[in-house]
Amino acid sequence: MALIRDYHEAMRLCLVVCFAGLLFGQGTEPKHTAEEYDVHGQSKKLAIGAEFMVHSFSRGEQTFIAKDYLVVEVALFPAKGETFTVTDADFTLRINGKKQVLEPASTSMVVASLQHPEWEQAGGMRPEVGGQMGNVGVMMGGPRSTNPFPGSNAPGAQLPPRVPVPQDTPGGVEKAPPVKAEDVANQTALVEGDHHTAVSGFLYFPFRGKIDSIKTLELVYRDAVLKLR
């Protein structure tokens, strides 16, 4: 029993540490160089890397969809010893070479839209947001039961051996609470302000058109133009 209590306490502390990191983490983890991103460029003393994520954003294994936005992960790498200022207003998105460009939405606006999602359902298919993983998927129908006697064990099936459970936690090891899309969006957005080391994060550009209509897509940062598509 002492061993079980020690294991349970270790798991609890691990969860606390993990969620503390998520709570205070900002931006995404930049890669080692701008060249490791799908597209990259240079703006004076800053190297820039970018990846077009379409509508998705993520942290670790949690992936979510912001269907009303075009999502771009941006990374900025300063020259050694240089300090630079990150401002969302320095970025714009140009679609199909048009003069009219898209500007990034504020993080608060993105979070508000994620708190009220509108999922479309058709043809017996439904989008599913995983309670633990946050993954967006599609389920069609449901699992079939081969058991001819409901309530009994299926033929050949055996109950797994019972594992002792600490009395103070009848459910066993504590489960991590569900990760919310709006929390991940807030934590992984590109952080504005002064920086002296590489920084990366997601930018969200309002867009409700069809992705197929986008023939060319350019991310403009000051004097640099990165061709995303």
Mean pLDDT computed over 77-97 = 95
Asked if the structure places residue 17 within a domain, the reply is no
CA distance 199 to 187: 13
Asked if the structure places residue 221 within a domain, the reply is yes
Looking at 55-124, which runs of residues are DSSP E strands? 56-59, 62-65, 69-78, 84-86, 91-95
Say yes or no to pLDDT of 136 above 50: no
Binned at pLDDT 50, 70 and 90, residue 224 comes out as: very high
Q: Of 43-52, 91-100, 171-180, give the lowest mean pLDDT range.
A: 171-180
Binned at pLDDT 50, 70 and 90, residue 118 comes out as: low
pLDDT of residue 167: 58
Asked if the structure places residue 128 within a domain, the reply is no
Asked if the structure places residue 45 within a domain, the reply is yes
pLDDT of residue 34: 97
Residue that is written with structure tokens 């197929």 in the block: 212
Binned at pLDDT 50, 70 and 90, residue 16 comes out as: very low
Beta bridge mates, 50: 39, 74
pLDDT of residue 178: 80
Asked if the structure places residue 160 within a domain, the reply is no
Binned at pLDDT 50, 70 and 90, residue 111 comes out as: very high
Q: Which domain holds residue 204?
A: 27-114+178-227
Q: For residue 84, give the CATH number of its domain.
A: 2.60.40
Say yes or no to pLDDT of 108 above 70: yes
Number of domains comprising the chain: 1
Asked if the structure places residue 133 within a domain, the reply is no
CA distance 38 to 125: 33
Say yes or no to pLDDT of 6 above 50: no
pLDDT tens digits for 153-197?
554 555 555 555 555 555 555 666 788 999 999 999 999 999 999
Asked if the structure places residue 150 within a domain, the reply is no
Higher-pLDDT residue of 191, 22:
191
Contact residues for 171 (Cβ-Cβ < 8 A; gap 6+): 165
Say yes or no to pLDDT of 102 above 50: yes
Binned at pLDDT 50, 70 and 90, residue 44 comes out as: confident
Say yes or no to pLDDT of 22 above 60: no
Asked if the structure places residue 121 within a domain, the reply is no
pLDDT of residue 1: 47
Closest Cα partner for 105 from 77, 78, 69, 138?
69
Higher-pLDDT residue of 55, 3:
55
Say yes or no to pLDDT of 19 above 80: no
Say yes or no to pLDDT of 211 above 70: yes
**Would you say how long the chain is, in residues?**
229
